[in-house]
Structure 1
């Protein structure tokens, strides 16, 4: 699953018991967009309000899990 959108809503929602999801690779949002926003905020605009402009960038909730007996594992799994 790959998303380059800065504000991504939930990609997977499941509200049932006994659910198993395997084999997912989740990537996003695109770090280049954040870097360009940082550049516009602090390099191009030499303005005291640049800090305020920078924090107007929408954020994304990476992975949100509400569950009992949850196992998250993998060779490259960083939480």
Structure 2
């Protein structure tokens, strides 16, 4: 699991149990210093270009909302994104 922290709009600290770092494979990334609206815009534009050029893809599974309970119990999400659809 990867946690990416950018900025502090929700607060400057988070509660994180030590066991989460030892046993989950959690990766923590962060960015804030030196980030400007221009650099964020530039990065966003670059991502859109990669998408248009087919250089960026994601394994996505669409799941109907009425199956949300069974999805919550699953553990096979490594590398996959689940999108709940109405």
Structure with more relative contact order (C-alpha pairs < 8 Å, separation 6 or more):
1
Fold shared by both chains (TM-score > 0.5): no
Q: What interval of TM-score do these two structures reach, taking the shorter chain for normalisation?
A: under 0.3
> TM-score when scaled to structure 1?
0.25
More strand by share: 2
> TM-score when scaled to structure 2?
0.24
More helix by share: 2
